[in-house]
Structures are given as structure tokens and as C-alpha cells.
């Protein structure tokens, strides 16, 4: 019984997540070149992906893993104000990893006391390995491996089929991988987790616990977001850009997950495997310049447009027994609006895919009555489906209906049943007539004479023949 209850509870938890990933995708071609090997650009207001590049190719996530680390922590350990004493032995094994230059620290010392909230900020803003591994150890019940299992269980729950985690900090492991599409799904989900967006989009944070022993100058112990697009000045500053995570790996390049908002539009860019250096061997930040190109392209060229008006007549359907016209015109039940690229003509959108609920109708038909659906497509990609309804009423013709009813009665099962019953009744009547005739004939037949004269005993006959004796 407990197992059944657990399964049902899990389903109720998973379904909302599954529903949240109902996204539309139209892959428009960029008017510029990006250096990242994989990319996804999504409009968060409509959950519409407008550009993808190698979005299902497996890549090393690096510290983008911290997004899942934060989600698992926020969902499984609500006591974020709990203070934790930092134990360096939890993460000191990282000092001997194969690529030590990938390690990033937040100047957290052994013996420092920090809340889980502090650790989440340190991890999301600076990719602090001390913070990430401490969170995994604490939330995993003093077992980091158990926490990684929780990460993979969450990935499976969210449908991240091309994602696998081996650690919570993001250091390189050939068995740790994800895709731009999976990372997009994870980020969209994470933005709905209470507290995540605030943490992931904060530019700078001061730890809530002073720890004067190890950090006498509190003004220097400030964590600043690694996404320099959030800066107001500099070559990479970008108005409206926030968070969420940047990542560097010596063997896998640079990754970034960034959101940007302007004029009421909000976009999410996911970029993976950008080169660390340019052609001249100089360090570069293609993961940031690519994000700028994507955002500029989206803000400049995309707007919400009416793809199908609710007054457009999109077809007609035959109507039998109608008074007057023997068809009804149909139109969309509601207006269909979509985020659209201004360099693509709306007339190129296919509106030919109509599915009727019934191939023919019988009058009467009511104005607004649902009659089918129309699916809009562009370059083989489905944009959406709209229900179509009757434009006007169609009245029934009385004369046509009477003729139809007479014809249909002959074909109805009731007509055949009536014929069968009539046949049976006729047969029964004939049988009764025959029986009655036989009975009548048998009663009216004349009797033979022998049966009309009483039978006389022979002795009585002799007695009658002898004369009587004389009286003496």
C-alpha cells in the first residue's frame, strides 16, 4: 500500500513538471555567425524556441551543473537558514584533479560558518567548488554520492534524456554530459523553483555570517557574478542581461546560460563549447559575444504578430438537409498570435492542414459550433493548432428532412424489426386460420347411419320373434 501511495505521489509531482515543458520551436536562421558549437535561444514569455544549433549534441556542462545542484538543494532542504561549519576535508580531494586550473574558489576557509543560502550564492555567482561540494555533502545526508543520485533522479523526472551527472561542482568527467536542449529545459524548470532566480541573477552578495576570524576585511569578502554582461560598463556589458551561469573547462571550452529582458520581452540563451582562444591564441569570451549576437537579433527582428485572425474564413463543410446553401463556412475560434521573425513573410505559413470532426453535417448547424481544427506549419515545423467553428447558423429544410426521414426509415433497424414482427404475426395468423378450418370441418362432418340406430342385443331379437304362449 505504501508503494502505491508513493507512486501516485510521484506522478502528481512529475505531471506539473512535464506540463511546463510544452514548448514551440521554429528554427529561424541567424543573420550572423556564432562560434559556440551548440546553442538554443528561447523566448521565455511564450516558451518558444526561435533558434537551435546542434541542440541535441552531448557536451561537457562544467559548472552549469550548479543549476541542478541548486534545484536539488532548494527542493529537498528548506531550512536554508541553517548554519554549516565548513569542513575542508569534504572537498580537499579536488586539489588533485586532472585539470586544477578549472577550480574556482570563493575564499571560503576551513572552519567558516555559513548558511545554506550563503553557500548557494557563492556557488551560483562564483562557481565555488567549496560551496558546491559542501551543499552536496549536507543535503545528501553527509554523503555527496547520494546527492549526485538525487541529481540524476531529478534529471530523469524532468525528461532530460541526454543528461548524466557525476558530481555537483561541475569539474570535468567524461561520464558527465548534457545538451543545450536539456540545459534549456532544466533552466526553465529552475526559474520556477522558489528562490532560484533571485539567487542566480544577483550581481553581488555579502555573506550573512561575518566570520571575522578568517575574514577581517569584510569589504573584500564579496562574491560577484562571473557573468560580466551584468556589468554596466566594459566591453561585455549588456543592458537587461542577468545571470544565470557561466562555465569554463580546459578540455571543453566555455558555456553560458543567460537571460536578457527588453521592452517586455524576455529571452534565454544557452551556449555550449565556445572556444577558449581565438585564431591568434588569445583568450576570448565567445560564449558572451555569441549571447549578445543572439539577443540583439531577437530584440531587433522578433515581435508578436497575428498569424491567423479570428475572422478569417479557412474552409467550408457540406451540410445536408439545409435550407438554402448546402454548406457552412468555418473560421478560427480565436485569434492565433505568435512571436515571428520580421524577415519571413507570414504568407509562407501553411494553413492547409484541416481536420474535420465529421466529414459532413446535417442541419441545423449553430453559429460557433466546433467543427474541426486547423494546424499551422512553417518549413515542416508545427506552429500550433486552432479549433475552427461555424461562421453562421444553417437552418433545417422541413421538406428535405421529411423525405430524408422516410428514406432512412426503410434503412433503419426498427423498420427491419417491424417487417420481421409483421411476418411472424402473418404466419401466426395463417396457422391459426388453418387450425380453425380443420376444427370446423371436423365438427360439421355428417355421421354414418349405423351410428344413428341403437344397437339391439341378439337375445332380445329372438325373444321378440317368439309368439306368446296361450294362456292356459
Q: How much of the chain, in percent, has pLDDT values that exceed 70?
A: 87
Q: What are phi and psi of 178, to 5 degrees?
A: -160, -175
Report residue 434's pLDDT band, with 50, 70 and 90 as the boundaries.
confident
> 21-300: what fold?
Beta-lactamase (3.40.710)
> 309-462: what fold?
Peptidoglycan synthesis regulatory factor (PBP3), Domain 2 (2.60.410)
Q: Confirm if 239 and 146 have CB atoms less than 8 A apart.
A: no
The 10 Å CB-count burial string (b at 16+, else e) for 92-105 is eebeeeeeeebbbe
Average of per-residue pLDDT across 381-408: 87
153-162, 212-221, 324-333, 438-447: which has the highest mean pLDDT? 153-162
pLDDT at 17 > cutoff 90: no
Q: In whole angstroms, how far apart are CA 291 and each of 54, 236, 256? A: 16, 10, 8
- Residue listed under C-alpha cell 529582458: 261
DSSP helix/strand/coil, 414: helix
Report d(CA 374, CA 336) in Å as an integer: 11
Report d(CA 356, CA 372) in Å as an integer: 4
What's the whole-model pTM score?
0.79
Where are the chain's structural domains? 21-300, 309-462
- pLDDT score for 154: 98
- pLDDT score for 435: 84
pLDDT digits (tens, 9 = 90+) for 329-374: 999 999 999 999 999 999 999 999 999 999 889 999 999 999 999 9
Show the cell assigned to 373: 481544427
Report residue 441's pLDDT band, with 50, 70 and 90 as the boundaries.
confident
DSSP run (H or E) holding 318: strand 315-320
Q: How many CB atoms lie within 10 A of CB 400?
A: 15
- pLDDT score for 398: 87
- pLDDT score for 12: 38
Q: How many CB atoms lie within 10 A of CB 459?
A: 8
Alpha helices in 105-194 (DSSP H): 116-126, 129-139, 144-157, 180-190
Report d(CA 245, CA 243) in Å as an integer: 6
Give the up-direction half-sphere exposure of residue 154: CA atoms within 13 A in the CB hemisphere. 24
Q: Confirm if 315 and 330 have CB atoms less than 8 A apart.
A: yes
Show the cell assigned to 182: 536539456
Alpha helices in 372-412 (DSSP H): 398-411
Contacts of 266 (CB under 8 A, 6+ apart): 43, 44, 45, 259, 260
| Cα–Cα nearest to 27, from 53, 45, 2 | 53
Q: How many CB atoms lie within 10 A of CB 356?
A: 14
Determine which of 158-172, 327-341, 396-410 has the lowest per-residue pLDDT on average.
396-410
CA torsion, points 153, 71, 143, 130, in degrees to nearest 10? 140
pLDDT at 410 > cutoff 70: no
Mean pLDDT computed over every residue of the chain: 88
Report d(CA 326, CA 322) in Å as an integer: 5
- pLDDT score for 409: 64
Q: In whole angstroms, how far apart are CA 68 and each of 71, 123, 142? A: 5, 11, 18
Contacts of 267 (CB under 8 A, 6+ apart): 41, 42, 43, 44, 259, 260, 261, 294, 295, 298, 299
Beta strands 253-262 and 265-274 are antiparallel
Q: How many CB atoms lie within 10 A of CB 87?
A: 15
User: Is the four-CA dihedral 64, 66, 69, 75 of positive or negative sign?
Assistant: negative
The 10 Å CB-count burial string (b at 16+, else e) for 188-202 is bbbbeeeebbebbbb
Q: Which residue would you say has higher pLDDT here, 441 or 295?
A: 295
- Residue listed under C-alpha cell 448546402: 326
| Cα–Cα nearest to 365, from 400, 325, 338 | 325
Amino acid at each position: 500500500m505504501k508503494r502505491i501511495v508513493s507512486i501516485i505521489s510521484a506522478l502528481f509531482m512529475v505531471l506539473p513538471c512535464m506540463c511546463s515543458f510544452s514548448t514551440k520551436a521554429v528554427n529561424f536562421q541567424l543573420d550572423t555567425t556564432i562560434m559556440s558549437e551548440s546553442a538554443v535561444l528561447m523566448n521565455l514569455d511564450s516558451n518558444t524556441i526561435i533558434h537551435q544549433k546542434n541542440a541535441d549534441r552531448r557536451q561537457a556542462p562544467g559548472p552549469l551543473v550548479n543549476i541542478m545542484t541548486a534545484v536539488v538543494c532548494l527542493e529537498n532542504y528548506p531550512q536554508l537558514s541553517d548554519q554549516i561549519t565548513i569542513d575542508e576535508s569534504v572537498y580537499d580531494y579536488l586539489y588533485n584533479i586532472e585539470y586544477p586550473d578549472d577550480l574556482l574558489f570563493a575564499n571560503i576557509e576551513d572552519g567558516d560558518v555559513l548558511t545554506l543560502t550563503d553557500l548557494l550564492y557563492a556557488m551560483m555567482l562564483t562557481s565555488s567548488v567549496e560551496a558546491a561540494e559542501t551543499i552536496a555533502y549536507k543535503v545528501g545526508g553527509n554523503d555527496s554520492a547520494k546527492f549526485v543520485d538525487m541529481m540524476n533522479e531529478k534529471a530523469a523526472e524532468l525528461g532530460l534524456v541526454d543528461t548524466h551527472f557525476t558530481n555537483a561542482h561541475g569539474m570535468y568527467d567524461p561520464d558527465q554530459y548534457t545538451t543545450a536542449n536539456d540545459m534549456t529545459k532544466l533552466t526553465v524548470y529552475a526559474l520556477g523553483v522558489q528562490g532560484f532566480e533571485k539567487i542566480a541573477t544577483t550581481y553581488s552578495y555579502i555573506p550573512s555570517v561575518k566570520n571575522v576570524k578568517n575574514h577581517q576585511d569584510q569589504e573584500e569578502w564579496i562574491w560577484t557574478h562571473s557573468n560580466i554582461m551584468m556589468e554596466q560598463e566594459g566591453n561585455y556589458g549588456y543592458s537587461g542581461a542577468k545571470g544565470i551561469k557561466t562555465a569554463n573547462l580546459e578540455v571543453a571550452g566555455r558555456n553560458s546560460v543567460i537571460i536578457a529582458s527588453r521592452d517586455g520581452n524576455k529571452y534565454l540563451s544557452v551556449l555550449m563549447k565556445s572556444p577558449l582562444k581565438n585564431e591568434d591564441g588569445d583568450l576570448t569570451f565567445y560564449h558572451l559575444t555569441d549571447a549578445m549576437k543572439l539577443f540583439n537579433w531577437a530584440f531587433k527582428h522578433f515581435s508578436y504578430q497575428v498569424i491567423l485572425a479570428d475572422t478569417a474564413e479557412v474552409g467550408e463543410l457540406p451540410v445536408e438537409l439545409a435550407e438554402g446553401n448546402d454548406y457552412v463556412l468555418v473560421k478560427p475560434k480565436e485569434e492565433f498570435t505568435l512571436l515571428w521573425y520580421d524577415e519571413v513573410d507570414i504568407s509562407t505559413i501553411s494553413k492547409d492542414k484541416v481536420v474535420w470532426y465529421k466529414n459532413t453535417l446535417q442541419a441545423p448547424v449553430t453559429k460557433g459550433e466546433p467543427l474541426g481544427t486547423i494546424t499551422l506549419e512553417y518549413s515542416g515545423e508545427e506552429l500550433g493548432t486552432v479549433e475552427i467553428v461555424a461562421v453562421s447558423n444553417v437552418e433545417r429544410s422541413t421538406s428535405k428532412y421529411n423525405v430524408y426521414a422516410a428514406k432512412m426509415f426503410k434503412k433503419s433497424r426498427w423498420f427491419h424489426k417491424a417487417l420481421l414482427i409483421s411476418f411472424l404475426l402473418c404466419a401466426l395468423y395463417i396457422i391459426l386460420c388453418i387450425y380453425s378450418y380443420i376444427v370446423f370441418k371436423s365438427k360439421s362432418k355428417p355421421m354414418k347411419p349405423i351410428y344413428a340406430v341403437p344397437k339391439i342385443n341378439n337375445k332380445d331379437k329372438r325373444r321378440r320373434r317368439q309368439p306368446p304362449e296361450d294362456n292356459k
